[in-house]
Structure 1
Amino acid sequence: MIRGVTVVPVTGPEAVIRDGAVAVADGEIVYVGPADGLPDGFTADRVLGGPGMVALPGLVNAHTHAAMTLFRSYADDLPLMKWLEEAIWPLEQKLIAEDVYWGTLLACAEMLLGGTTTFADMYFFMDRVAAAVEKSGIRASLSRGLIGIAPNAEKALKESRAFVREWHGRANGRITCMLGPHAPYTCPPDYLRKVVAMAAELGVGIHIHVAETRQEVEGIKKQYGCSPVALLAETGLLDLPVLAAHCVHLSPEDIAILAAKGAAVAHNPESNMKLASGIAPVTELLTAGVTVGLGTDGAASNNNLDMLEEMRSAALLQKVAREDPEALPAYAALEMATIGGARALGLGDKIGTLQPGKRADIILLNLRRPHLYPPHDVVAHIVYAAQAGDVDTVIVDGNVVVEGGRLLTLDLDTVLDNARHCALRLVGKPKARSLL
């Protein structure tokens, strides 16, 4: 039981419960409401919360590449394609399974300590990613990255089928799977059609990068005579559940297609800013009825996995881009980081809000901090002022995985040491300014 807290269930802008309570049994939320309204006879093995605490749904990181924590600060201040082609892709060729395992555990530790309870990942050696997810206690939607123009394109498809069959629904349902074609510029239409057929066969969705840069959009138009979004519609990909990452450069027609097809978008404001990719039309997407979640992208292009910070950046970026302080209000940003992300991952019926019947993915923030006083508006504080260090308690699927700001499921020193050794092997001789 959580009681004596302010509850922000994210079920409406005004649905804030002072002196509230959340009751959990067998990993499921069974009550959310005033503390004096708890069901008669309900007893708890543990009672959490207290004055100054705020309970809200766990944050959902709707797009990242978890093991890229190993590349954090390795290649900064470069445009996307130069960053990929000259720095990241060559380094990724050196990755082995254990690198991905420890890099993912490092990401899981960072995300859990910062209040993220679910993430959507697209990368390699996904069986090791899944093992890290299972061990850490976090929830995840996992996709094996597919490059249609690569020599191993067909092999990767077979590996994806095997991965989905082995891991989808594992860890008491905490692990779900999608297929992960990288992008239209690395996956030709014929290959995308194979992905679509396999996704339909397996009953899973598709996670793909879309319209991240102007260069990508112009290249697709030159090659195929249409936008990336229109190309995906033509291949039939948008007829399945789709998580479209970035969607920075969209025309009104593109937005209409995404809305009509029911595709979801993962907005990554800080990565898009750092790589100078542009500003996604989030306000227009939301107005059109498109589901929009929030993601950090990989730590190599952010450089952290802090979803509280991402909310603030998302809201401020839309305001300044449109010179309109109402372009993305605080509550809309909070929805993107919780129920928006949950819906984008196909998990909206399970997580994303605090409601009876949903899985108990809950975080407690400690508002007794100088930067969170006086407590005029709790939602505004969460979006505009809260920091990862304010996260006190994290519960995933009813299990306490962080308490008092301390990670309970992993030995953090072991994770840090192994991640350091993996990074050192990958980069060889460290940079002059490196602490490796």
Structure 2
Amino acid sequence: MTMIYNARWVLPVATAPIEHGAIAIDGPRIAAVGPQSVICGRFPSASTHDFKNSAIIPGLVNTHTHLELTAMRGYLEQEESDFFAWLRKLTRARLEQMTADDIQVSATWGACEAVRAGITSVGDASDSALLSMRAIQEVGMRGVVFQESFGPDARLVAENFDRLKSKVGELREVESALVRTGISPHAPYSVCGPQLELIADYALSERLPLMMHAAESAAEEMFVRDGCGIFADGLKNRNIEWTTPGVSTLQHLKQRGILETQPLLAHCIRVDENDLVALHETNSKVAHCPKSNAKLGHGRAPLAKFIDRGIAVGLGSDSVASNNTSDILEEARFAALVARADRQVSAGEVFTTATIAGARCLGLGGVVGELTEGAGLRSIVDFGVCFLRPGCIDDSRSGQGSLSGRQSGEC
């Protein structure tokens, strides 16, 4: 039986917004998207649900999060001015204080919170990726779960790499059509060059999506370029030798083969002209996390430059340990405001990063992030369509409005 959903606005994203729009659902597919008069005329016997002064949008996409850390909301506030201390306290709490049950509950809590905010697809990076994958599956979302890999000590590369492959094997036994397996060498300061090369080759040979934290902080830049600072001191205190690349983080990743995997790179705050060229030429993607970047005092990534250069960019909340909320509409609003230091990024541009562009960053282009005729029902009805309350999007036709308000939670 065909069902028609009407609203003041329908935002297909891939095409222009439709005032007084409607979508028709027939069985497992979207049968049509268009003006209410046209859709109701095509399906005169269909049941109709009118959302009145609301907007129907695709499910939002969070390209970078850590669901397993949801329980740490507010736990690291005192360490925010010291990134090394922040990382150390987080790592100790996760490894020494949280049980497997704690992590499972934390990840499920995070997934539920995401759905309530209209997020239907996530790119989740996790040391306990199997637990995160189960949480996402239980809640019914789509996404990619990136199994993290650590290892700054070149003497332990083989051991660390074997551990990663073992965990990937476990994930592949339970992954589904909705939730896929990926891999994540954590960051330039936590994974040595030889291990990065092995992981890059593994991603290519096994066709695994790859995500990595990159160019996030001044401390990371000092470590990669000059071989000094808190990360260098930390390795020295652990008697771990490190060869300084002497280049930017992006150029280091290019040299080690990571960019050949067309990775999703989280943050990318400290990038120069050569780095922007490398991102574009290698079809690498960026998970832009403006609120987390600001909260930890790392700075701002050049969102306008990413967009202008044709670099694929989606929005990420990062973990609630560094953000406090998992709200991609609020992330979009914040991103648009912060980007004004370079140029005014329109509501249309930033809304695209929250939907269709984010989907492409996760390899889900054409599946989620847009409302199109013929799209599968699962991506549209089972957490695939969001109904926004009045005031969420102003002046949608021009694409120059502002984003505000909250989702109704009906997805």
TM-score grouping bracket, smaller chain normalisation = 0.7 to 0.9
When residues 335 and 41 of structure 1 are mapped into structure 2, their CA distance, relative to the original with a 3 A threshold, is closer
TM-score by length of 1: 0.81
**What's 1:278 paired with?**
299
Paired with 2:310 and 2:87, the residues of 1 have a C-alpha distance of 35
**What's 1:429 paired with?**
none
**What's 2:101 paired with?**
98
Paired with 1:200 and 1:281, the residues of 2 have a C-alpha distance of 28
**What's 2:161 paired with?**
154
Q: Percent identity over the alignment?
A: 28
- Asked if residue 266 in structure 1 is aligned to residue 287 in structure 2, the reply is yes
- Asked if residue 341 in structure 1 is aligned to residue 358 in structure 2, the reply is yes
Paired with 2:334 and 2:248, the residues of 1 have a C-alpha distance of 27
Paired with 1:374 and 1:143, the residues of 2 have a C-alpha distance of 32
**What's 2:276 paired with?**
255
Mapped contact 1:167–1:176 kept (Cα < 8 A)? no
Q: How far is 1:158 from its partner?
A: 2.0
Mapped contact 1:100–1:124 kept (Cα < 8 A)? no
**What's 2:143 paired with?**
140
Paired with 1:200 and 1:376, the residues of 2 have a C-alpha distance of 44
Q: How far is 1:381 from its partner?
A: 10
**What's 1:233 paired with?**
254
Q: How do 1:82-97 and structure 2 match up within 5 A?
A: 82-94=84-96, 95-97=98-100
Match of residue 186, structure 1, among 181, 186, 190: 190
When residues 200 and 376 of structure 1 are mapped into structure 2, their CA distance, relative to the original with a 3 A threshold, is closer
**What's 2:120 paired with?**
117
Q: How far is 1:9 from its partner?
A: 0.9
* TM-superposition CA deviations, 1:201-253 (whole Å, max 9, x none): 22121010000012212211221121111111112221123110000000110
* TM-superposition CA deviations, 1:355-388 (whole Å, max 9, x none): 1233322111121xxxx2996547879853222x
2:388 is paired with a residue whose SS is strand
Paired with 1:18 and 1:33, the residues of 2 have a C-alpha distance of 9
**What's 1:423 paired with?**
none
When residues 86 and 127 of structure 1 are mapped into structure 2, their CA distance, relative to the original with a 3 A threshold, is closer
User: How many residues matched?
Assistant: 378
1:230 is paired with a residue whose SS is helix
Mapped contact 1:311–1:383 kept (Cα < 8 A)? no
Q: How far is 1:302 from its partner?
A: 0.4
* TM-superposition CA deviations, 1:20-49 (whole Å, max 9, x none): 2212345433321122333846866x7544
When residues 393 and 220 of structure 1 are mapped into structure 2, their CA distance, relative to the original with a 3 A threshold, is same
Match of residue 173, structure 2, among 157, 161, 166: 166
Match of residue 201, structure 2, among 182, 187, 197: 197
When residues 383 and 57 of structure 1 are mapped into structure 2, their CA distance, relative to the original with a 3 A threshold, is farther
- Asked if residue 129 in structure 1 is aligned to residue 146 in structure 2, the reply is no
When residues 80 and 209 of structure 1 are mapped into structure 2, their CA distance, relative to the original with a 3 A threshold, is farther
Mapped contact 2:172–2:181 kept (Cα < 8 A)? no
TM-score by length of 2: 0.86
Paired with 1:80 and 1:144, the residues of 2 have a C-alpha distance of 26
Q: How far is 1:83 from its partner?
A: 4.0
Q: Any stretches of 5+ residues in structure 1 without a counterpart?
A: 395-436
**What's 1:363 paired with?**
386
Aligned AA for 1:31? Answer: A
1:298 is paired with a residue whose SS is coil
Paired with 1:42 and 1:177, the residues of 2 have a C-alpha distance of 43
Paired with 1:131 and 1:342, the residues of 2 have a C-alpha distance of 21
Q: How far is 1:3 from its partner?
A: 2.3
Q: How far is 1:178 from its partner?
A: 1.2
Paired with 1:156 and 1:304, the residues of 2 have a C-alpha distance of 32
Q: Which range moved further: 270-279 or 35-44?
A: 35-44
Q: How do 1:304-323 and structure 2 match up within 5 A?
A: 304-319=325-340, 321-322=341-342
